[in-house]
Structure 1
């Protein structure tokens, strides 16, 4: 029995806040503004150009602004947990590291493995969305060429390998491998353009909007239903667009819309992976997370309000709501402005999906749970091996024709159209890797952490343990909405992860070695052997 007891203890061994002999190899160069731009760019993806139309037409109507408010509150609950962890544990690794220092090694590995799946699928999906959107602008030249020369036609696979999307991923992987500071500059440029386009949409909506579109009566909806069904009479016709008014589908419809809108706020967690690259993480990470969530909420709120003011909610196009709305108010050429904003949003969303992946890989490799070469850094203090490996893995999904049209929770729209609507695939795909799952883990970790370590002077989550527990229930509810196919894919991914952990990680764990020896050697990409004999500086 004794060996089994020792084995169980090895699965639950925890990493100390300041492990002996661990030295940061990253360049601390990011500011609070860089983090806000990273969070906004990753979260405020191209879904803002699509999601409002789908939710308003099918679930919430004009009350979509309330749906976004509810979703934002739920996201802020999780965001506050991230903010406190990021301030208290200023090291790279995000939810993986937070789990390691609170609940143990095995659950930490599971959390990190889930995060990697999220980033891989998210990156591949957004790359295909970028490719599809750009292809539409040039007349489907690439799509027609690939169909003629590389058509696959196999069940479960896409029609053809999207080599353009794979190449785009590798280009951005090269940019990230070159240096974080250069990547942050590119991200800020694209995020600024995206924000300017959204401001144009908001101003146009409020200038050309009609408050009467929030007060549509039952008679107008019955007439619209008869026209939609090609009926010549409205006798005995029941509206298929709700009851009208501000809550046409009732408050239940508003809540249903909020469940879909929640996924529009996925992405801010990439800020927490930058802890070792921020000049002042204890200040910048909480401010970056809260500010980015606030900016994204205001953008979603204002765009959805402008959209439902420009055009009656039941007439919105679920595939391309903004271009159709501009045609409706007589501003047809504005659709090209929307296309530019969509490409910029996709670019920042793609960068935001790729940015945290190599850092989680690096953190797991540095701890010995994944293969050691992934922990090597370049002379520019960038995790180059992990970054290029991430690019190769994520790039293989579109290049090998893996179908990314994955199941989503009830209420989510179909995100497979090969036009601007492909941009929302990034929202749909992240549910596959249990976007709410890591939220549950980190909220529980915060409760453990709070009572295991003394209070810090940095950002602290209020109303403990009530707020994290509420967040757990919200995310568990979202998890149980996932379909059987999604759970099957998850089971396969976790089986591969357990093979790696029990075959390699548990035997090569640095924490295990740290418990046996006082020093652990880390090899850098230059081939130099450095003993981790220094603790991280305190901020």
Structure 2
């Protein structure tokens, strides 16, 4: 007969004694325990090995995935917003401070990516360290981050698209079909106002749909080419982790891609902001095309014709913003894919095209929603929501590093935050403090919008994800198998632990003459 002590050594769910004097898994309130259920490293690695996605990305391509995601929005769209609304001429310093905060996050992402090289990014890191409910929260947050971030890019792309055709063909598109019809007024009170005469941002909608179709056909074509605004300018490096299942050597290459793209992008941000704020008064940069405004100001001041430079800037902006859209939609579709693989979202999001090897259902869904947001919402509202979502993801990843250092100190890490066993923990701890502080000082309306989004996510999780969780089904099946085995057993031994149980959780029955020790 199994004793309760033996079952506790085994690390199983709490047991209750049946009428025969044997212990069986306790069924009551199992949903509550499920909230803290974690994925094991072994199961994560097994899922990665079985993934049908094609591994084709090299180290060099991963760096450009990060650069492609970071550069476009920050330089061509949000730099002007940050200067005009908050930082003024000190926008360069703001980008440096944001880069330091992002660097702390990049170190944590690099260490986690070298341990858990899968496509879920912060979602999977939370699943392995904090449990299913926290993983759902951060996965839902990542959906917000990438979806709204991509829509921000599309709005900026529309502005440069109109500017380009005005320069090369003297074709001027009216605001009715090139500008979002809704405008965000800070207030008080803050309101979302409809502007009479504006209908739909057609260029923003179309570019998202075109990019979505490209990604559906194959994800590798792009490889060939105030805090609220500055922090969101650095979100691209975490997109590198979402393509882990498509990297050739993810444990080695992901940290290089993350840190390399952040370093290069920071240098470009500093140079661009310094030149831009030196060329034009910062109050004039409150537009979706700040770089062309700076070029126009230089042209008026010097009397020289810089029309050719404006054309080059517009072309560069269109290419850069298109690459950001590619990576943003790519990253979000991979998060949906990972969550659907785990059963927390409908299984349709995990369908991979048999020939193209892309999760085309999730990609198309992401593209359509993002296109609609880009067509109707203003860039400043979208940028604020992207920043707070990014900071929440940073906070969770920092926490995941600390938890893994405590629970799995001997796990393989191809990259480790420098500073030794204890000093290195200062970096993620400091990153957590900075992230939560920046969230706390965000606009109240932005925080409320985040809570509303999270509330919608919690409802969906308890109505769908909790019931369809793959991990919960696996554990329930294991419990049933243990119960049947225990009923048939007469030698007093417990059911064997799950094959993929964490080493630091695994407990073996203590027999006479043996001692129980931690692995």
Q: Is 2:263 the partner of 1:294?
A: yes
Instruction: Give the structure-1-normalised TM-score.
Output: 0.72
SS at match of 1:45: helix
- Alignment counterpart, residue 133 of structure 1, candidates 160, 171, 184: 160
Structure 1's 57 and 181: CA in aligned 2 closer, same or farther, altered over 3 A?
Answer: closer
Tell me if 1:477 matches 2:446.
no
Displacement of 1:372:
0.8
Cα distance in 2, alignment partners of residues 173 and 259 from structure 1: 27
The number of equivalent residue pairs is 427
Map of 1:376 onto structure 2: 351
| SS state at 1:434 partner | helix
Change (3 A) 1:385 1:49: closer
- Following the alignment from structure 1 to structure 2, what is the Cα–Cα distance between the partners of residues 32 and 315? 40
Checking the alignment, whether the CA contact within 8 Å between 1:45 and 1:348 is kept in structure 2 is yes
Q: After TM superposition, give the deviation of residue 429 of structure 1 in Å.
A: 4.4
- The C-alpha deviation readout for 1:409-457, integer Å capped at 9, x for no partner, is xxxxxxxxxxxxxxxx6x44412x5221111111111100121112424
Alpha-carbon distance between aligned partners in 1 of 2:238 and 2:60, rounded to the nearest angstrom: 16
The match for 1:441 is: 396
Other-structure match for 1:397: 373
Say if 2:455 is the partner of 1:495. Answer: yes
Change (3 A) 1:486 1:168: same
| Separation of aligned partners in 2, 1:279 and 1:348 | 21
Q: Could you say which residue in structure 1 is the equivalent of 2:516?
A: none
1:189-233 alpha-carbon deviations (Å, 9 max, x no partner): 2xxxxxxxxxxxxxxxxxxxxxxxxxxxxxxxxxxxxxxxxxxxx
Whole-angstrom CA distance in 2 between matches of 1:59 and 1:396? 28
* Residue 451 in structure 1 maps to residue 406 in structure 2: yes
Does structure 2 conserve the Cα–Cα contact (< 8 Å) formed by 1:71 and 1:262? Answer: yes
Distance of 1:286 and 1:40 partners within structure 2: 14
| Residue 508 (structure 1) aligned with residue 468 (structure 2) | yes
Unaligned runs of 5+ in 2: 1-13, 15-25, 184-190, 479-498, 501-519
What TM-score comes out, normalization by structure 2 length?
A: 0.75
Deviation at 1:490, TM superposition (A): 2.0
Equivalent of residue 247 in structure 2, options 254, 278, 290: 278
Residue-by-residue CA offset, 1:270-291 (whole Å, 9 max, x unaligned): 1010111000001111000100
1:87 alignment partner in structure 2: 114
Q: Which moved more, 1:66-75 or 1:133-142?
A: 133-142
Deviations 1:451-497 (A, max 9, x none): 11124240012333211111111111211122232233223222221
Whether contact under 8 Å (1:322, 1:338) holds in the other structure is no
State the partner residue of 1:253. none
Match of 1:366 among 332, 341, 352: 341
Counterpart-to-counterpart distance in 1, 2:271 and 2:379: 29
Q: Deviations over 1:122-168 (max 9, x none)?
A: 222221221232123334754456499x9899964563122332222
**Which of 115, 121, 134 pairs up with 1:107?**
134
| Partner Cα distance (2:467, 2:282) in 1 | 59
What does residue range 28-43 of structure 1 map to in structure 2 within 5 Å?
Answer: 28-43=55-70
Instruction: Pick the structure with greater CA Rg.
Output: 2
* Shift, 1:498, TM fit: 1.6
- Distance of 1:14 and 1:61 partners within structure 2: 45
Aligned to 2:38: 14
- 2:323 maps to what in 1? 348
Within the alignment, does 1:25 sit opposite 2:52 as a pair?
A: yes
Aligned to 1:323, which of 295, 300, 323? 295
Residues in 1 aligned to 2:452 and 2:131: alpha-carbon distance in whole angstroms = 23
User: 1:146 and 1:117, CA in 2 relative to 1: closer, same or farther beyond 3 A?
Assistant: same
Unaligned residue ranges in structure 1 (runs of 5+): 190-256, 408-424, 519-533
User: What pairs with 1:38-437 in structure 2 (closer than 5 Å)?
Assistant: 38-49=65-76, 64-139=91-166, 141-144=172-175, 146=177, 156-157=193-194, 159-182=198-221, 184-185=222-223, 188-189=224-225, 260-307=229-276, 311=279, 317=285, 319=287, 320=290, 321-327=293-299, 328-329=301-302, 330=304, 332-333=306-307, 334-379=309-354, 380-399=356-375, 401=376, 403-407=377-381, 427-431=383-387, 434-437=389-392
Evaluate the alpha carbon distance shift between residue 448 and residue 68 of structure 1 in structure 2; reply closer, same or farther with a 3 A threshold.
Answer: same
Q: Quick one: distance in 1 between partners of 2:86 and 2:444?
A: 24
Contact 1:439–1:475 (CA<8 Å) still a contact in 2?
Answer: yes
